[in-house]
Chains A and B, each alone.
Chain A
Amino acid sequence: MTKPESEWTWKELPVGNVVLEPGNASQYRTGDWKTLMPVLTKERCIHCGLCYIFCPDMAYSVNEEGYFIADLFYCKGCGICARECPTGAIAMVEEEK
């Protein structure tokens, strides 16, 4: 997709609005739905990966240091990770825009 969908004219739409680019849902920013964002306190993290497992948007991935970090481009701020974290390492805090 060379330009955002909101700039497409009707003439540029493929017949039947077929999506020709496989996997382009990854370009969809669901991160701007959130009001709260997860913040990790590394000292408490035991690297169990429950946040990664429970995240409904697969926003979590492991960084080089072995911590699970939410990609805020996708994170909707649902707070499931914070709820499931067994050590309380994740806090949901208001996102500053």
Chain B
Amino acid sequence: MGKRVGMEVSIAAAEAVKQANVDVISAYPITPQTHIVEHLSELVANGELDAEFVPVESEHTAMSVCVGSEATGARSFTCTSSQGLALMSEIVFITSGLRLPIVMIIANRTLSSPLSIWNDHSDVMSIRDCGWIQYFVENGQEAYDHVFCAYRLAEDRDVLLPVIINMDGFILSHVIEPIEFIDQEEIDRFLPPYKPLYRLHPDQPVTMGAFALPSIYTETKKAQEVALLSSMPKILETWKAFGDLTGRYYNPIETYKTEDAETVLITMGSFGETASVAVDRMREEGRSAGLVKIRLWRPFPFDAFRKAVLGAKNLVVIDRAISLGGPGGPVASEVKAALYGEESKPTVYNYVAGISGRDVSPSDFIKMVDKAEIEIEEGKKDGYEIYGVRE
């Protein structure tokens, strides 16, 4: 068992990238991701990490560098937030189409405008359909752990897909948390060196990123979707192997006090810990409340999700992003789609809360549950509101 250290989560995440023994890092600094790449550049400069750190002029180039390096068989890492992700997005879609197992941490931050450096999920929701495997971590330990899980999963010959680790900007990235470090020998056993299936090499020339006519493009997308959907067993297998190594077992859907719960909160990311405090308080008051935390956003774990919520009467889904002009937040849309085919299903009430880093406390979660329960009782079927707006 490794030692437990108090450390800023960004630094711990960077240390994990070092322990994952990456070959190439390319990134452009942007708040609140900065500390991660800053620390990595120090590790490379100090000779503590034998990797190429490629400083670039933009995130578009950062991901382009990673595509190039990964294509030659080098384990590559990048990291961004918000506007940086928006600028990078063109290459994000190319990466998954090329099936390059790059790992990226997104320190989630609000998209402009208005300009805001604080946390929400609007950045990653803008690339929701990019074809990457997407985790949302809840705390610093999960952020550290998922770097290893991400590389092992991404590079698996049966997967070969890039992975995004979403971690809430500031709320996680800039907070000091106790992190249990894993010994390097154990990491090396868990994460073997990357053996690419295809790579750019003069001895065996291949073309990556070729043009596709309408006569073949549809087949390429079918193949890509099947690859993403069929990564699920490997996602579970990777978490199981990680749990056997560290004792920390992760699931695509985590449940907290959901047994016989009438009302279940649904959260993603760092909301989970606060919401669990709210659930504890409601339980103390004798209320029938539980919590479901979505850790795996893509591929969406429909079966595990249905299994977790189908016994409940009400679902209170908390989104940290707005889907402007849509049916509510993106998580609620997914939740409703997951339940559509069910004969008997809970009523969904959706809140958008905590955008641009506005605090959401345990009592806020309780207030959201209070209102949802009353309105559902009164017959409301499709509740949706932006929580805490001054009228």
Residues in chain A within 8 A of chain B (CB atoms): 5-6, 8-11, 13-20, 22
Contacts and interface: CB of A to CB of B under 8 A. Distances in A.
A10 B226 CA distance: 10
A51 B144 CA distance: 62
The 9 nearest A-B residue pairs measured at CB: A16-B99, A19-B207, A6-B215, A10-B222, A10-B219, A22-B205, A10-B223, A16-B98, A18-B198
Given A5-B215, A16-B100, A18-B198, 6 more contacts: A10-B226, A16-B160, A16-B208, A19-B207, A20-B206, A22-B206
A49 B198 CA distance: 41
Main SS class of interface, B: loop
A16 B97 contact: yes
Contacts of A13: 216, 219-220, 223
Nearest to A15: B99
Given A6-B215, A22-B205, A17 B220 contact: yes
Nearest to A13: B223
B389 interface: no
Interface in B82-130: 97-100
Nearest to B157: A15
A36 to B, nearest CB: 23
B213 interface: yes
B324 interface: no
10 contacts: A5-B213, A6-B215, A6-B216, A15-B198, A15-B227, A16-B97, A16-B99, A16-B198, A19-B207, A19-B210
B5 interface: no
B2 to A, nearest CB: 35
Contacts of B206: 18-20, 22
A17 B215 contact: no
A32 B365 CA distance: 64
Which residue of B98, B207, B227 has the most chain A CB atoms within 10 A of its CB atom? B207
Contacts of A20: 198, 206
Contacts of A10: 219-220, 222-223, 226
B36 to A, nearest CB: 27
Contacts of A9: 219
B216 A11 contact: no
Contacts of A19: 206-208, 210
Contacts of B205: 22
B197 interface: yes
A18 B98 CA distance: 8
Interface string B216-234: 1001101100110000000
Nearest to B215: A6
Contact of A15 (B197, B207, B215): B197
B186 to A, nearest CB: 30
A13 B198 CA distance: 13
Interface in B188-205: 197-198, 205
A8 B205 CA distance: 22
B212 interface: yes
Given A10-B222, A11-B223, A13-B223, A18 B216 contact: no
Contacts of A8: 216, 219
Nearest to A24: B207
A49 B119 CA distance: 64
B212 A17 contact: yes
A9 B206 CA distance: 21
A17 B208 CA distance: 7
A17 B198 contact: no
A10 B223 CA distance: 5
A22 B203 CA distance: 11
Given A5-B215, A6-B216, A19-B207, A14 B198 contact: yes
Contacts of B219: 8-10, 13
A18 B60 CA distance: 22
Nearest to B99: A16
Contacts of B198: 14-16, 18, 20
Nearest to A12: B219
A95 B121 CA distance: 57
Nearest to B210: A19
B208 A18 contact: yes
B216 A5 contact: yes
B202 to A, nearest CB: 11
A22 B201 CA distance: 12
